[in-house]
Structure formats: C-alpha cells, structure tokens
Amino acid sequence: MAQITLNTLKKHRAENTKFSMVTAYDACFANLASEAGVDTILVGDSLGMVLQGHQSTLPVTVADIAYHTQCVAAASPHCLIVADIPFMASATTQDAVDTARELMQAGAHVVKVEGGSNLVDLVKLYRDQGVATCCHLGLTPQFVNQFGGYRVQGRTDETAKRLIDAAAALDAAGTDIILLECVPNHVTDAIMKVTTVPVIGIGAGPSPTGQVLVMHDLLGITPGKPARFVKNFMHSSNSIQDAFRAYDQAVKDGSFPAPEHCFEE
C-alpha cells in the first residue's frame, strides 16, 4: 500500500473522490485501520473522553497526544497521521511552536487546531515553519463551555456566515485541511464552494472530501446514546478490521453518511 500524504488528499479534492479518517490512539488499532484501507488517522483529544474517562477534552495535555502519536506512528501505518493540539496548547506563539515541535517529532504529519477565523495567524506561523495544519471548525469540543454543551453550530444566518467566512480565510491563509464538525449540510455545501483544500466532515453532511469518526463510536463501544452522526459498523461486521473496512468502503462509495446521520437545518 502506498503512503498517504497531503498530496493524496488534495488529489481527492481535485477529483471529487472520497477518503476516510478514523481516530486511533495505539499501534494495534492504527495497524488494523491502516490495513483495512483507512487513509488518515487522527490522534484526537477525544482520547480524554474515550480512553481517560473525562467528561470533556479539556484535561488532555500535549504529553498525552505526543505519547499516543508515538504509539500510532510506531505501527508504521500507510495512513497520514494528524495529531490534535490540545486545549490552550497554542495560546501563545511560544506554546504553538513548542507544541507543534513535540507532536511532529512524535510522528504527526499534520497538526489539528480548533477555532475559527482567529486561527489565520497560527496557520501562517506554522506554514512558515513547514508545519501542515488542519483547522477544526463548527462544533469545536474545546469550546464546549462557551457553547453551553455539544450543539450543532451554524444554524442561524449569522453563525453560518461566520463559519463560511472563517473557512474561506483559513483556506486563503494556507491551511492544508479543514475539518467541519456538526454543521447543517447547507453550511458545508457553502464551505465547499469557498475553499480549495480537502474538507473532512463529522456530522457535516455528505459533501466533504473525507469523513471522520471516533473509533470507539464506529465500533459501537462508546457508553451512552450515540450522537446522530454516528454509525455502528460492528453491527454488520465479524471483526474490528471488517468494521474499519466497511466504514472505509461506505465513505468511499458515498453511502455514509446517510440522511439520518446529517443535520438538514
């Protein structure tokens, strides 16, 4: 299997074909996902909730993400590895530089940062230093306290415009990937029109170039009621690797996400 790079994702965007991303936090699952054909692995700060049992992602540290990025990279997957910048770990220029250095040296190919148009300067800083970025917009879980819960974003004309303008500004600033979480389909469609980079969606409708799910969600082992955008791929699979394969194929043939996983309004 060929190594997946940013150029692979850009080709998908240019050719209007799809790619898949799952979260993984260790060598074993990273290897299973990679062998199943998944293109990109996110070492997400969701590990604070699914591995560490916290109620939010806020307690996750740079050392946590660096450790799990090393574990994923050690599996030598063919996947592009994206590592999350945790809460407040890029708040100052020095923090931003130190965090990116640690995560890239741990094996990340791209760093993901949550926010909005406030990320323009950070994207430029990283671009000048050779660090590829993924900007996470919409329901950004690190902002859960400002949002007052995990809620769909961009439902009003004003908040939708803010998201669309932010995506356009970040695309122009040179971000390499945009990730959209929990936004109505029409907002995603508008963002696809004003951007050129690969867009990854989670609860953002069918039009993004790629889709991402938290590994525990797609395997159906997250406690509690699953979010609307989640599909349990273990239901129709005989093994974890089959579930990863089914997810990858469903993303690539466009059958996931289906309307029941999306927010129309």
Residue located via tokens 């790619």: 19
Residue 95 CB neighbours (<10 A): 14
46 near ligand KIV (CB under 6 A)? yes
From CA 237, how far away is CA 7, in angstroms rounded? Answer: 31
From CA 135, how far away is CA 166, in angstroms rounded? Answer: 10
Residue located via tokens 């303008």: 165
* Interface size with ligand KIV, residues (CB under 6 A): 12
What's the burial of 144, exposed, middle or buried (CB within 10 Å: 0-12/13-18/19+)?
Answer: middle
Please list every residue from 172 through 201 that binds ligand KIV, using CB under 6 A.
179, 181
Provide the Cα torsion 44, 74, 52, 108; round to 10°: -30
Shortest separation between residue 44's beta carbon and ligand KIV, angstroms: 2
39 near ligand KIV (CB under 6 A)? no
* Rg for the chain, CA atoms, rounded: 17
What's the burial of 109, exposed, middle or buried (CB within 10 Å: 0-12/13-18/19+)?
Answer: buried
Please list every residue from 9 through 38 that binds ligand KIV, using CB under 6 A.
23
Nearer to ligand KIV, 46 or 188 (CB): 46
Nearer to ligand KIV, 93 or 118 (CB): 118
Which of 44, 107, 201, 210 is close enough to bind ligand KIV by CB under 6 A? 44
Which of 30, 163, 177, 214 is close enough to bind ligand KIV by CB under 6 A? 214
Q: Shortest Cβ contact with ligand KIV: which residue? A: 44
Which of 84, 102, 171, 248 is close enough to bind ligand KIV by CB under 6 A? 84
Residue 6 phi, psi dihedral angles, 5° rounding: -60, -35
SS3 26: coil
From CA 235, how far away is CA 29, in angstroms rounded? Answer: 18
Pairing of strands 177-181, 132-138: parallel
Which of 41, 62, 113, 212 is close enough to bind ligand KIV by CB under 6 A? 212
Which of 45, 102, 171, 176 is close enough to bind ligand KIV by CB under 6 A? 45
Quote the tokens at residue 105.
Answer: 């040296």
User: What is the dihedral sign for C-alpha 15, 176, 165, 159?
Assistant: positive
42 near ligand KIV (CB under 6 A)? yes
Q: Which stretch binds ligand KIV (CB under 6 A): 41-49, 99-107, 186-194, 243-251?
A: 41-49
Which of 81, 152, 202, 250 is close enough to bind ligand KIV by CB under 6 A? 202
Shortest separation between residue 47's beta carbon and ligand KIV, angstroms: 7
Shortest separation between residue 238's beta carbon and ligand KIV, angstroms: 26
Selecting among 35, 114, 181, 265, the annotated active-site residue is 181
The number of C-alpha atoms within 13 Å of 60 and in the hemisphere containing its C-beta is 29
Shortest separation between residue 136's beta carbon and ligand KIV, angstroms: 6
Q: Is 264 a catalytic residue?
A: no
Q: Which residues make up the interface to ligand KIV (CB under 6 A)?
A: 23, 42, 44-46, 84, 136, 179, 181, 202, 212, 214
Residue positions annotated with a catalytic role? 181
